[in-house]
């Protein structure tokens, strides 16, 4: 296990790319002292820590059409289009249950990133266990506008990507000087400012939480500043970034299973492509 941190960006079903990269790491027996995940990155990270090769891909591809998993009607039934509780329930034959025992026994530390809707600031849940793990993952992946805030021990929270979309600074603050970041966007990508319509919707929907609204309005500034800083760290050899060469064009809630499968295999291939350079970085 390397004394390094692995940081996983979110992106809903763009996380298929991350799943492919992480399965390559699992196949090569690469482990990290700390894994930090945001939203879909946190969901992928939990399966990585429990060493369940292929689980993320199997769920997203084989069960994409399951109404209990992803459906607009879930807004009324499960407080969000994506029913995150589905991921941790037992669905019988053909389903791979999350291995909670393997997760708990893993020597890898884990941090789940969410955004407090009361303060608008990022909050970090360190190696949560049991129901707390499921609650924190659900909070981290609860996207604004399409999900309700999720209760946690640190208050109601939503998508960690709102306040801390690429949380490599958290790893640095934990003392790690080797940080591997898996992106779900190409390096050239930069976020666009929130539209007036989105800002108006934010003001109406989250009127009780002005700090959260302000964080949403400033999201592109936060995100783009992180990306510029990450580019500088990578150029100086202080971070190692795995990212797709071209823009990922699938939707966050992509329905095309062929596209989802192709993105997973792209991540697998990219993981192999950078493997020698990654090991050189980690062993430096």
- Choose the catalytic residue: 39, 50, 106, 202: 39
d(CA 263, CA 17): 5
39 — pLDDT class (breaks 50, 70, 90): very high
72 — pLDDT class (breaks 50, 70, 90): confident
In sequence order, the β-bridge partners of residue 158 are 115
pLDDT score for 16:
98
User: In this predicted model, what pLDDT tens digit does every residue of 186-198 receive, in sequence order?
Assistant: 999 999 998 999 9
User: In this predicted model, what pLDDT tens digit does every residue of 108-158 receive, in sequence order?
Assistant: 999 999 999 999 999 999 999 999 999 999 999 999 998 999 999 999 999
Task: Indicate the Cα dihedral angle 247, 248, 253, 258, nearest 10°.
Answer: 150
Q: What is the mean pLDDT of the chain?
A: 95
Mean pLDDT value of segment 204-225 = 96
Kind plus residue range of the DSSP H or E element containing 112: strand 109-116
Long-range CB contacts (within 8 A, 24+) of 213-217: 213/120, 214/120, 215/115, 215/120, 215/121, 215/162, 215/163, 216/144, 216/162
In sequence order, the β-bridge partners of residue 181 are 7, 241
- Choose the catalytic residue: 23, 135, 136, 159: 159
**Is the pLDDT confidence value at 76 over 90?**
no
Helix 40-49 and helix 15-27: axis angle, to 10°?
A: 20
Active-site residue flag, 39: yes
Mean pLDDT value of segment 156-162 = 96
Kind plus residue range of the DSSP H or E element containing 111: strand 109-116
DSSP 87: G
Give how far Cα 277 sits from Cα of 177, 210, 222, 273, Å: 17, 45, 29, 9
Which of these, 219, 231, 104, 121, lies nearest to 168 by C-alpha position? 231
């Amino acid at each position: 296990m390397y004394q390094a941190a692995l940081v996983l960006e979110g992106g809903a079903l763009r996380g298929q790319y991350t799943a492919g990269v992480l399965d390559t790491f699992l196949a090569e027996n690469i482990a990290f002292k700390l894994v930090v995940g945001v939203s879909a990155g946190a969901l992928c990270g939990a399966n990585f820590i429990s060493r369940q090769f292929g689980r993320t891909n199997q769920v997203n591809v084989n069960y994409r059409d399951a109404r209990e998993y992803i459906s607009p009607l879930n807004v009324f039934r499960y407080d969000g289009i994506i029913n995150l509780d589905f991921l941790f329930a037992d669905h019988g034959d053909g389903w791979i249950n999350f291995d909670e025992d393997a997760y708990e026994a893993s020597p890898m530390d884990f941090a789940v990133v969410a955004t407090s809707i009361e303060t608008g600031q990022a909050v970090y849940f360190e190696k949560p266990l049991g129901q707390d793990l499921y609650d924190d993952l659900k909070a981290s992946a609860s996207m604004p506008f399409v999900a309700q805030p999720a209760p946690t021990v640190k208050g109601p929270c939503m998508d960690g990507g709102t306040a801390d979309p690429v949380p490599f600074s958290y790893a640095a603050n934990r003392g790690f000087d080797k940080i591997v970041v898996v992106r779900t966007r190409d390096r050239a990508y930069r976020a666009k400012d929130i539209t007036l319509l989105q800002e108006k919707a934010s003001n109406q929907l989250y009127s009780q939480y002005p700090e959260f609204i302000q964080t949403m309005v400033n999201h592109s500034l936060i995100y783009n500043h992180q990306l510029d800083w990450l580019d500088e760290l990578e150029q100086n050899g202080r971070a190692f970034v795995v990212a797709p060469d071209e823009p990922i064009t699938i939707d966050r809630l992509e329905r095309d299973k062929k596209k989802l499968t192709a993105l997973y295999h792209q991540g697998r291939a990219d993981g192999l492509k950078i493997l020698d350079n990654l090991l050189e970085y980690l062993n430096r």
